[in-house]
Structure 1
Protein backbone atom coordinates (compact mmCIF):
# COMPACT_ATOMS: atom_id res chain seq x y z
CA UNK A 1 0.00 0.00 0.00
CA UNK A 2 1.33 3.43 -0.90
CA UNK A 3 1.88 6.01 1.86
CA UNK A 4 -1.09 8.23 2.66
CA UNK A 5 -0.94 11.91 3.52
CA UNK A 6 -2.18 12.17 7.09
CA UNK A 7 -2.57 15.20 9.32
CA UNK A 8 -3.06 14.72 13.04
CA UNK A 9 -3.63 17.64 15.37
CA UNK A 10 -3.62 16.96 19.11
CA UNK A 11 -4.17 19.80 21.51
CA UNK A 12 -4.66 20.75 25.11
CA UNK A 13 -5.72 24.32 25.82
CA UNK A 14 -5.60 24.29 29.61
CA UNK A 15 -9.17 23.04 30.13
CA UNK A 16 -10.06 20.77 27.24
CA UNK A 17 -8.33 18.31 24.94
CA UNK A 18 -8.89 17.54 21.31
CA UNK A 19 -7.87 15.35 18.43
CA UNK A 20 -8.41 15.89 14.69
CA UNK A 21 -7.32 13.26 12.16
CA UNK A 22 -7.48 13.76 8.40
CA UNK A 23 -6.35 11.44 5.63
CA UNK A 24 -5.99 12.97 2.17
CA UNK A 25 -7.76 16.02 3.62
CA UNK A 26 -10.84 14.06 4.63
CA UNK A 27 -11.88 14.15 8.29
CA UNK A 28 -11.52 10.69 9.85
CA UNK A 29 -11.80 11.45 13.54
CA UNK A 30 -12.63 14.48 15.65
CA UNK A 31 -12.87 14.40 19.43
CA UNK A 32 -13.17 17.24 21.93
CA UNK A 33 -13.76 17.53 25.64
CA UNK A 34 -12.36 17.46 29.15
CA UNK A 35 -12.26 13.64 29.16
CA UNK A 36 -9.45 13.82 26.60
CA UNK A 37 -7.21 16.07 28.71
CA UNK A 38 -5.20 13.37 30.47
CA UNK A 39 -4.52 11.51 27.21
CA UNK A 40 -3.43 14.71 25.47
CA UNK A 41 -1.00 15.49 28.29
CA UNK A 42 0.44 11.95 28.07
CA UNK A 43 0.90 12.48 24.32
CA UNK A 44 2.50 15.87 24.89
CA UNK A 45 5.10 14.35 27.20
CA UNK A 46 5.71 11.33 24.96
CA UNK A 47 6.16 13.51 21.87
CA UNK A 48 9.02 15.51 23.40
CA UNK A 49 11.44 13.77 20.97
CA UNK A 50 9.60 15.48 18.08
CA UNK A 51 9.53 18.94 19.67
CA UNK A 52 12.57 18.98 21.99
CA UNK A 53 12.66 22.75 22.34
CA UNK A 54 9.19 22.66 23.98
CA UNK A 55 10.85 21.62 27.23
CA UNK A 56 12.74 24.90 27.35
CA UNK A 57 9.57 26.98 27.58
CA UNK A 58 7.57 24.78 29.96
CA UNK A 59 8.49 25.42 33.61
CA UNK A 60 5.70 23.05 34.76
CA UNK A 61 7.67 19.97 33.71
CA UNK A 62 9.24 18.00 36.56
CA UNK A 63 12.28 15.85 35.84
CA UNK A 64 13.63 12.86 37.77
CA UNK A 65 16.54 10.58 36.91
CA UNK A 66 15.47 6.92 36.97
CA UNK A 67 18.84 5.39 36.09
CA UNK A 68 21.79 6.10 33.76
CA UNK A 69 19.66 5.64 30.59
CA UNK A 70 16.21 6.82 31.72
CA UNK A 71 14.52 9.93 33.07
CA UNK A 72 10.94 10.58 34.04
CA UNK A 73 9.18 13.75 32.94
CA UNK A 74 5.93 14.66 34.67
CA UNK A 75 3.38 17.41 35.06
CA UNK A 76 0.08 17.91 36.82
CA UNK A 77 -3.34 18.11 35.18
CA UNK A 78 -6.81 18.07 36.72
CA UNK A 79 -5.30 17.24 40.11
CA UNK A 80 -3.46 14.20 38.74
CA UNK A 81 0.22 13.57 38.11
CA UNK A 82 0.95 12.48 34.54
CA UNK A 83 4.40 10.95 33.96
CA UNK A 84 6.31 9.35 31.09
CA UNK A 85 9.70 7.62 31.22
CA UNK A 86 12.16 8.52 28.45
CA UNK A 87 14.90 6.03 27.52
CA UNK A 88 18.10 7.26 25.85
CA UNK A 89 20.18 5.19 23.43
CA UNK A 90 23.99 5.01 23.31
CA UNK A 91 24.09 8.26 21.24
CA UNK A 92 22.03 10.22 23.77
CA UNK A 93 18.88 10.22 21.63
CA UNK A 94 15.47 9.38 23.07
CA UNK A 95 14.69 5.89 21.75
CA UNK A 96 11.62 4.99 23.79
CA UNK A 97 8.85 6.51 25.87
CA UNK A 98 6.85 4.42 28.30
CA UNK A 99 3.95 5.08 30.65
CA UNK A 100 1.16 3.36 32.51
CA UNK A 101 -1.96 5.17 31.43
CA UNK A 102 -5.72 4.72 31.19
CA UNK A 103 -6.90 3.16 27.94
CA UNK A 104 -10.31 4.50 26.87
CA UNK A 105 -11.10 1.36 24.86
CA UNK A 106 -10.62 -0.76 28.00
CA UNK A 107 -12.85 1.19 30.41
CA UNK A 108 -9.80 3.25 31.46
CA UNK A 109 -7.84 0.21 32.68
CA UNK A 110 -4.21 1.16 33.32
CA UNK A 111 -2.18 -0.18 30.40
CA UNK A 112 1.48 0.03 29.36
CA UNK A 113 1.85 2.51 26.53
CA UNK A 114 5.10 2.46 24.54
CA UNK A 115 6.57 4.77 21.92
CA UNK A 116 9.67 3.85 19.90
CA UNK A 117 11.75 6.45 18.03
CA UNK A 118 14.57 6.05 15.51
CA UNK A 119 16.39 7.47 12.49
CA UNK A 120 17.27 10.89 13.92
CA UNK A 121 17.76 13.57 11.26
CA UNK A 122 17.61 17.32 10.98
CA UNK A 123 14.15 18.41 9.82
CA UNK A 124 13.33 22.12 9.51
CA UNK A 125 16.47 22.88 11.53
CA UNK A 126 15.57 20.54 14.42
CA UNK A 127 17.20 17.16 15.14
CA UNK A 128 14.29 14.75 15.60
CA UNK A 129 13.51 11.06 15.15
CA UNK A 130 11.98 10.61 11.70
CA UNK A 131 10.50 7.18 12.41
CA UNK A 132 8.23 6.19 15.24
CA UNK A 133 5.77 3.62 16.50
CA UNK A 134 3.22 3.70 19.31
CA UNK A 135 1.78 0.59 20.94
CA UNK A 136 -0.27 -0.72 23.85
CA UNK A 137 0.97 -3.73 25.79
CA UNK A 138 -2.24 -5.79 25.87
CA UNK A 139 -2.76 -9.14 27.61
CA UNK A 140 -2.69 -10.72 24.13
CA UNK A 141 0.61 -9.04 23.21
CA UNK A 142 1.95 -5.79 21.82
CA UNK A 143 -0.61 -3.88 19.70
CA UNK A 144 1.06 -1.26 17.49
CA UNK A 145 -1.61 1.24 16.52
CA UNK A 146 0.54 3.90 14.88
CA UNK A 147 3.67 3.67 12.78
CA UNK A 148 4.95 6.60 10.80
CA UNK A 149 7.72 8.56 9.18
CA UNK A 150 8.12 12.28 9.74
CA UNK A 151 8.91 14.07 6.49
CA UNK A 152 8.35 17.68 7.58
CA UNK A 153 7.91 19.68 10.75
CA UNK A 154 5.70 22.74 11.13
CA UNK A 155 5.21 24.33 14.52
CA UNK A 156 2.09 26.34 15.23
CA UNK A 157 0.63 27.82 18.39
CA UNK A 158 -2.98 28.17 19.40
Structure 2
Protein backbone atom coordinates (compact mmCIF):
# COMPACT_ATOMS: atom_id res chain seq x y z
CA UNK A 1 0.00 0.00 0.00
CA UNK A 2 2.81 2.40 0.94
CA UNK A 3 4.69 1.54 -2.25
CA UNK A 4 1.58 2.19 -4.36
CA UNK A 5 1.02 5.55 -2.70
CA UNK A 6 4.65 6.49 -3.24
CA UNK A 7 4.35 5.60 -6.91
CA UNK A 8 1.18 7.65 -7.43
CA UNK A 9 2.60 10.75 -5.74
CA UNK A 10 5.93 10.51 -7.58
CA UNK A 11 5.94 13.05 -10.41
CA UNK A 12 7.76 10.57 -12.66
CA UNK A 13 5.40 7.64 -12.07
CA UNK A 14 4.59 7.56 -15.77
CA UNK A 15 7.98 6.00 -16.56
CA UNK A 16 7.23 2.99 -14.36
CA UNK A 17 3.63 2.75 -15.62
CA UNK A 18 4.70 2.85 -19.26
CA UNK A 19 7.35 0.15 -18.80
CA UNK A 20 4.91 -2.03 -16.83
CA UNK A 21 2.26 -1.69 -19.54
CA UNK A 22 4.80 -2.49 -22.26
CA UNK A 23 6.00 -5.64 -20.50
CA UNK A 24 2.39 -6.62 -19.76
CA UNK A 25 1.49 -6.25 -23.41
CA UNK A 26 4.32 -8.57 -24.46
CA UNK A 27 3.00 -11.20 -22.08
CA UNK A 28 -0.52 -10.69 -23.46
CA UNK A 29 0.70 -11.26 -27.01
CA UNK A 30 2.42 -14.46 -25.91
CA UNK A 31 -0.78 -15.71 -24.26
CA UNK A 32 -3.34 -13.96 -26.49
CA UNK A 33 -6.28 -16.32 -26.12
CA UNK A 34 -6.31 -16.13 -22.35
CA UNK A 35 -5.28 -12.51 -21.81
CA UNK A 36 -6.34 -10.45 -24.84
CA UNK A 37 -8.70 -8.23 -22.81
CA UNK A 38 -5.70 -6.95 -20.86
CA UNK A 39 -4.80 -4.96 -23.99
CA UNK A 40 -7.57 -2.47 -23.23
CA UNK A 41 -6.16 -1.82 -19.76
CA UNK A 42 -2.67 -1.43 -21.17
CA UNK A 43 -3.85 1.09 -23.77
CA UNK A 44 -5.47 3.14 -21.01
CA UNK A 45 -2.28 2.99 -18.93
CA UNK A 46 -0.09 3.99 -21.88
CA UNK A 47 -2.33 6.93 -22.83
CA UNK A 48 -2.48 8.12 -19.21
CA UNK A 49 1.29 7.76 -18.89
CA UNK A 50 1.93 9.81 -22.01
CA UNK A 51 -0.56 12.43 -20.82
CA UNK A 52 1.27 12.66 -17.48
CA UNK A 53 4.64 12.75 -19.23
CA UNK A 54 3.48 15.69 -21.36
CA UNK A 55 2.37 17.50 -18.20
CA UNK A 56 5.75 16.88 -16.59
CA UNK A 57 7.63 18.02 -19.70
CA UNK A 58 5.58 21.23 -19.97
CA UNK A 59 6.08 22.12 -16.29
CA UNK A 60 9.80 21.39 -16.54
CA UNK A 61 10.08 23.71 -19.56
CA UNK A 62 8.29 26.52 -17.71
CA UNK A 63 10.44 26.09 -14.61
CA UNK A 64 13.65 26.09 -16.69
CA UNK A 65 12.64 29.23 -18.59
CA UNK A 66 11.62 30.96 -15.36
CA UNK A 67 15.02 30.16 -13.86
CA UNK A 68 16.61 31.58 -17.01
CA UNK A 69 14.99 35.01 -16.68
CA UNK A 70 15.76 35.21 -12.95
CA UNK A 71 19.28 33.77 -12.92
CA UNK A 72 21.20 37.06 -12.80
CA UNK A 73 18.69 38.97 -10.70
CA UNK A 74 19.72 40.33 -7.31
CA UNK A 75 16.86 40.99 -4.90
CA UNK A 76 19.04 41.66 -1.86
CA UNK A 77 19.61 45.21 -0.58
CA UNK A 78 17.05 46.66 -2.98
CA UNK A 79 16.89 50.45 -2.97
CA UNK A 80 13.87 52.29 -1.57
CA UNK A 81 12.03 54.53 -4.04
CA UNK A 82 12.29 58.17 -2.97
CA UNK A 83 9.85 60.90 -3.97
CA UNK A 84 12.59 62.88 -5.70
CA UNK A 85 13.08 59.96 -8.10
CA UNK A 86 9.63 60.42 -9.65
CA UNK A 87 9.81 64.19 -10.20
CA UNK A 88 11.08 63.90 -13.79
CA UNK A 89 7.97 61.94 -14.84
CA UNK A 90 4.78 63.51 -16.26
CA UNK A 91 2.56 64.81 -13.47
CA UNK A 92 -0.12 62.14 -13.87
CA UNK A 93 2.54 59.39 -13.69
CA UNK A 94 3.78 60.95 -10.45
CA UNK A 95 0.21 60.76 -9.12
CA UNK A 96 0.06 57.14 -10.22
CA UNK A 97 3.28 56.36 -8.36
CA UNK A 98 1.93 57.98 -5.19
CA UNK A 99 -1.56 56.48 -5.52
CA UNK A 100 -0.10 53.00 -6.08
CA UNK A 101 2.10 53.20 -3.00
CA UNK A 102 5.45 53.04 -4.80
CA UNK A 103 7.19 55.85 -2.91
CA UNK A 104 8.80 54.69 0.31
CA UNK A 105 8.89 51.02 -0.69
CA UNK A 106 11.57 48.83 -2.23
CA UNK A 107 12.12 48.93 -5.96
CA UNK A 108 10.42 45.94 -7.54
CA UNK A 109 12.93 43.69 -9.30
CA UNK A 110 10.87 40.53 -9.75
CA UNK A 111 7.19 39.57 -9.66
CA UNK A 112 5.34 36.28 -9.35
CA UNK A 113 1.57 36.26 -9.63
CA UNK A 114 -1.39 33.96 -10.16
CA UNK A 115 -4.46 34.66 -12.26
CA UNK A 116 -7.85 33.24 -13.05
CA UNK A 117 -10.53 34.22 -15.53
CA UNK A 118 -12.16 33.23 -18.77
CA UNK A 119 -11.24 33.64 -22.42
CA UNK A 120 -12.50 33.19 -25.95
CA UNK A 121 -10.45 31.94 -28.88
CA UNK A 122 -12.83 33.46 -31.46
CA UNK A 123 -15.61 36.09 -31.29
CA UNK A 124 -18.34 33.47 -31.67
CA UNK A 125 -16.77 30.77 -29.50
CA UNK A 126 -17.76 29.90 -25.94
CA UNK A 127 -16.07 31.20 -22.80
CA UNK A 128 -13.33 28.94 -21.40
CA UNK A 129 -12.19 29.11 -17.77
CA UNK A 130 -8.46 29.33 -17.13
CA UNK A 131 -5.85 29.68 -14.40
CA UNK A 132 -2.37 31.05 -14.96
CA UNK A 133 0.95 31.90 -13.36
CA UNK A 134 3.37 34.58 -14.46
CA UNK A 135 6.89 35.55 -13.47
CA UNK A 136 8.58 38.85 -14.40
CA UNK A 137 12.12 40.15 -14.36
CA UNK A 138 11.60 43.90 -13.98
CA UNK A 139 15.25 45.00 -14.20
CA UNK A 140 15.81 43.37 -17.60
CA UNK A 141 12.27 43.23 -18.99
CA UNK A 142 11.21 39.60 -19.38
CA UNK A 143 8.34 37.32 -18.41
CA UNK A 144 7.15 33.73 -18.50
CA UNK A 145 3.38 33.14 -18.47
CA UNK A 146 1.87 29.66 -18.26
CA UNK A 147 -1.80 28.77 -18.33
CA UNK A 148 -4.21 25.85 -18.07
CA UNK A 149 -7.51 26.24 -19.95
CA UNK A 150 -10.61 24.09 -19.41
CA UNK A 151 -11.66 23.18 -22.95
CA UNK A 152 -14.24 20.61 -21.84
CA UNK A 153 -14.61 18.09 -19.01
CA UNK A 154 -11.47 15.93 -18.80
CA UNK A 155 -9.75 17.93 -21.55
CA UNK A 156 -7.33 20.79 -20.91
CA UNK A 157 -5.27 23.10 -23.06
CA UNK A 158 -1.94 24.43 -21.83
CA UNK A 159 -0.08 27.49 -23.04
CA UNK A 160 3.10 29.39 -22.46
CA UNK A 161 3.88 32.95 -23.53
CA UNK A 162 7.33 34.41 -22.96
CA UNK A 163 9.48 37.48 -23.52
CA UNK A 164 13.26 37.16 -23.21
CA UNK A 165 15.78 39.67 -24.59
CA UNK A 166 13.06 41.38 -26.59
CA UNK A 167 12.01 38.16 -28.32
CA UNK A 168 8.62 36.56 -27.85
CA UNK A 169 7.35 33.03 -28.18
CA UNK A 170 3.87 31.54 -27.82
CA UNK A 171 3.19 27.83 -27.38
CA UNK A 172 -0.28 26.26 -27.04
CA UNK A 173 -0.96 22.52 -26.80
CA UNK A 174 -4.17 20.55 -26.48
CA UNK A 175 -3.88 18.14 -23.53
CA UNK A 176 -0.22 19.13 -23.42
CA UNK A 177 0.32 16.87 -26.44
CA UNK A 178 -1.11 18.27 -29.68
CA UNK A 179 0.49 21.58 -30.82
CA UNK A 180 -2.05 24.25 -31.74
CA UNK A 181 0.23 27.30 -31.82
CA UNK A 182 4.03 27.43 -31.75
CA UNK A 183 5.16 30.82 -32.95
CA UNK A 184 8.14 32.88 -31.99
CA UNK A 185 11.09 35.12 -32.70
CA UNK A 186 9.59 37.03 -35.60
CA UNK A 187 8.97 40.76 -35.58
CA UNK A 188 5.21 40.47 -35.17
CA UNK A 189 5.29 38.18 -32.15
CA UNK A 190 8.22 40.12 -30.65
CA UNK A 191 6.29 43.38 -30.92
CA UNK A 192 3.09 41.83 -29.53
CA UNK A 193 4.89 40.32 -26.55
CA UNK A 194 6.74 43.55 -25.76
CA UNK A 195 3.40 45.38 -25.78
CA UNK A 196 2.03 42.84 -23.35
CA UNK A 197 4.92 43.55 -20.96
CA UNK A 198 4.35 47.29 -21.27
CA UNK A 199 0.63 46.96 -20.50
CA UNK A 200 1.27 44.72 -17.50
CA UNK A 201 3.62 47.08 -15.65
CA UNK A 202 0.45 48.33 -13.93
CA UNK A 203 0.96 45.29 -11.64
CA UNK A 204 4.46 46.47 -10.65
CA UNK A 205 4.33 50.25 -11.07
CA UNK A 206 7.89 51.05 -9.97
CA UNK A 207 8.90 49.67 -13.40
CA UNK A 208 7.91 53.11 -14.70
CA UNK A 209 11.19 54.42 -13.26
CA UNK A 210 13.37 52.20 -15.45
CA UNK A 211 15.24 53.74 -18.37
CA UNK A 212 13.75 51.27 -20.85
CA UNK A 213 10.42 53.14 -20.67
CA UNK A 214 10.05 56.71 -21.97
CA UNK A 215 6.97 58.70 -20.92
CA UNK A 216 5.39 61.55 -22.89
CA UNK A 217 2.28 63.40 -21.71
CA UNK A 218 -0.51 63.75 -24.30
CA UNK A 219 -2.85 65.65 -21.98
CA UNK A 220 -3.48 65.89 -18.23
CA UNK A 221 -4.75 62.32 -17.93
CA UNK A 222 -3.22 60.57 -20.95
CA UNK A 223 0.39 59.48 -21.41
CA UNK A 224 2.22 57.73 -24.23
CA UNK A 225 4.73 55.12 -23.09
CA UNK A 226 7.53 53.74 -25.26
CA UNK A 227 9.26 50.50 -24.27
CA UNK A 228 12.66 49.86 -25.84
CA UNK A 229 14.55 46.56 -25.66
CA UNK A 230 17.68 45.91 -27.74
CA UNK A 231 16.95 48.95 -29.93
CA UNK A 232 13.42 47.73 -30.75
CA UNK A 233 10.52 49.88 -29.52
CA UNK A 234 6.77 49.59 -29.02
CA UNK A 235 4.34 52.30 -27.94
CA UNK A 236 1.06 52.34 -26.06
CA UNK A 237 -1.22 54.87 -24.36
CA UNK A 238 -2.24 54.81 -20.69
CA UNK A 239 -5.23 56.78 -19.41
CA UNK A 240 -5.68 57.73 -15.75
CA UNK A 241 -8.29 59.19 -13.41
CA UNK A 242 -7.75 62.57 -11.74
CA UNK A 243 -6.26 60.87 -8.67
CA UNK A 244 -3.83 58.72 -10.64
CA UNK A 245 -5.66 55.41 -10.99
CA UNK A 246 -4.99 53.57 -14.25
CA UNK A 247 -8.17 53.41 -16.32
CA UNK A 248 -7.05 51.81 -19.58
CA UNK A 249 -4.24 50.90 -21.95
CA UNK A 250 -4.44 51.00 -25.75
CA UNK A 251 -2.01 50.12 -28.52
CA UNK A 252 -1.76 48.90 -32.09
CA UNK A 253 -0.91 45.20 -31.74
CA UNK A 254 -0.77 42.26 -34.12
CA UNK A 255 -3.99 40.23 -34.11
CA UNK A 256 -3.88 36.66 -35.38
CA UNK A 257 -0.94 34.40 -36.11
CA UNK A 258 1.77 34.06 -38.71
CA UNK A 259 1.69 35.94 -41.99
CA UNK A 260 -2.04 36.62 -41.57
CA UNK A 261 -1.55 38.73 -38.42
CA UNK A 262 -2.72 42.33 -38.87
CA UNK A 263 -2.35 45.46 -36.76
CA UNK A 264 -5.50 46.11 -34.76
CA UNK A 265 -6.40 48.20 -31.72
CA UNK A 266 -5.76 46.24 -28.52
CA UNK A 267 -7.58 47.68 -25.51
CA UNK A 268 -7.44 46.89 -21.80
CA UNK A 269 -10.07 48.27 -19.43
CA UNK A 270 -9.38 48.26 -15.69
CA UNK A 271 -12.43 47.25 -13.63
CA UNK A 272 -11.22 46.88 -10.03
CA UNK A 273 -8.26 47.58 -7.75
CA UNK A 274 -6.90 45.65 -4.81
CA UNK A 275 -4.13 45.99 -2.24
CA UNK A 276 -1.27 43.52 -2.69
CA UNK A 277 1.67 43.82 -0.29
CA UNK A 278 0.93 47.50 0.29
CA UNK A 279 0.54 48.36 -3.40
CA UNK A 280 -2.77 49.39 -4.91
CA UNK A 281 -2.90 47.73 -8.31
CA UNK A 282 -5.51 46.68 -10.89
CA UNK A 283 -6.92 43.30 -9.88
CA UNK A 284 -9.62 42.82 -12.53
CA UNK A 285 -9.40 43.74 -16.21
CA UNK A 286 -11.18 43.21 -19.52
CA UNK A 287 -9.08 42.75 -22.65
CA UNK A 288 -10.55 43.25 -26.11
CA UNK A 289 -9.78 43.84 -29.75
CA UNK A 290 -11.43 46.76 -31.51
CA UNK A 291 -12.11 45.24 -34.92
CA UNK A 292 -13.94 46.62 -37.96
CA UNK A 293 -16.81 44.22 -37.36
CA UNK A 294 -17.07 45.27 -33.71
CA UNK A 295 -15.39 44.83 -30.35
CA UNK A 296 -14.12 41.33 -29.57
CA UNK A 297 -14.02 41.07 -25.77
CA UNK A 298 -11.90 37.96 -25.42
CA UNK A 299 -10.49 37.97 -21.88
CA UNK A 300 -11.67 38.56 -18.31
CA UNK A 301 -8.72 38.52 -15.95
CA UNK A 302 -8.35 38.57 -12.16
CA UNK A 303 -5.14 38.62 -10.12
CA UNK A 304 -5.56 36.21 -7.20
CA UNK A 305 -2.07 36.22 -5.68
CA UNK A 306 0.99 38.41 -6.09
CA UNK A 307 4.48 38.52 -4.57
CA UNK A 308 7.31 40.95 -5.22
CA UNK A 309 11.07 40.41 -5.10
CA UNK A 310 10.94 36.63 -4.94
CA UNK A 311 13.01 34.08 -6.84
CA UNK A 312 10.63 31.20 -6.15
CA UNK A 313 10.46 28.74 -9.06
CA UNK A 314 7.41 26.68 -8.10
CA UNK A 315 4.92 25.72 -10.76
CA UNK A 316 1.47 24.58 -9.68
CA UNK A 317 -0.03 23.21 -12.88
CA UNK A 318 -1.33 19.74 -13.59
CA UNK A 319 -3.09 19.25 -16.91
Q: Given the alignment, which residue of 47, 52, 66 partners 2:205?
A: 52
Contact 2:172 2:182 in 1 (8 A): no
Q: Are 2:244 and 1:95 aligned? A: no
Alignment check: 8 A CA contact 2:170 2:184 kept = no
Report if aligned partners of 1:96, 1:116 keep a CA contact under 8 Å in 2.
yes
Structure 1 residues 32, 125: closer, same or farther in 2, change over 3 A? farther
Taking the aligned partners of 2:303 and 2:289, their CA distance within structure 1 comes to: 21
Between structure 1 and structure 2, the one with the greater Rg is: 2
Q: Secondary structure at the match of 1:49?
A: helix
Q: Check if 1:40 corresponds to 2:165.
A: no
CA–CA separation in structure 1 for the residues paired with 2:194 and 2:185: 12
* Residue 147 of structure 1: aligned partner: 300
TM-score (norm 2): 0.42
Q: Deviations over 1:64-111 (max 9, x none)?
A: 001111001102356543101000023311110001122234823221
Query: What is the RMSD computed on CA atoms of the aligned residues?
Result: 2.9
Q: Are the aligned partners of 2:285 and 2:300 in contact in 1 as well (CA < 8 Å)?
A: yes
Q: Which has the higher helix share?
A: 2
Deviation at 1:127, TM superposition (A): 1.2
- Number of residues paired by the alignment? 153
In the TM superposition, residue 60 of structure 1 has moved relative to its aligned partner by 1.4
2:252–2:265 contact (8 Å) kept in structure 1: yes
**1:14-33 to 2 correspondences below 5 Å:** 14-19=165-170, 27=176, 31=182, 33=184
C-alpha spacing 1:119/1:102, structure 2 compared with 1 (3 Å): same
**Unmatched runs of 5 consecutive residues or more in structure 2:** 1-116, 119-128, 134-144, 146-160, 314-319
Partner of 1:11: 162
Structure 1: unaligned runs, 5 residues or longer: none
- TM-score normalised to structure 1 length: 0.80
Aligned-partner Cα distance in 1 for 2:171–2:307: 16
Q: 1:18 to 1:124 in 2, by over 3 A?
A: farther
**Judging changes above 3 Å, is the alpha-carbon distance between structure 1 residues 84 and 37 closer, same or farther for their aligned structure 2 residues?**
same
Q: Which structure is higher in strand share?
A: 1
- Kept in 2, the 8 Å contact 1:87–1:94? The answer is yes
**CA distance in structure 1 between the aligned counterparts of 2:216 and 2:130, rounded to whole angstroms:** 37
Please say if residues 124 and 152 of structure 1, whose CA atoms lie closer than 8 Å, have aligned partners that are also in contact: no
The answer as to 2:192 corresponding to 1:67 is no
Q: Which fold has the larger relative contact order, with Cα–Cα distance below 8 Å and residues 6 or more apart in sequence?
A: 2
Check conservation: 1:38, 1:77, Cα contact below 8 A.
Answer: no
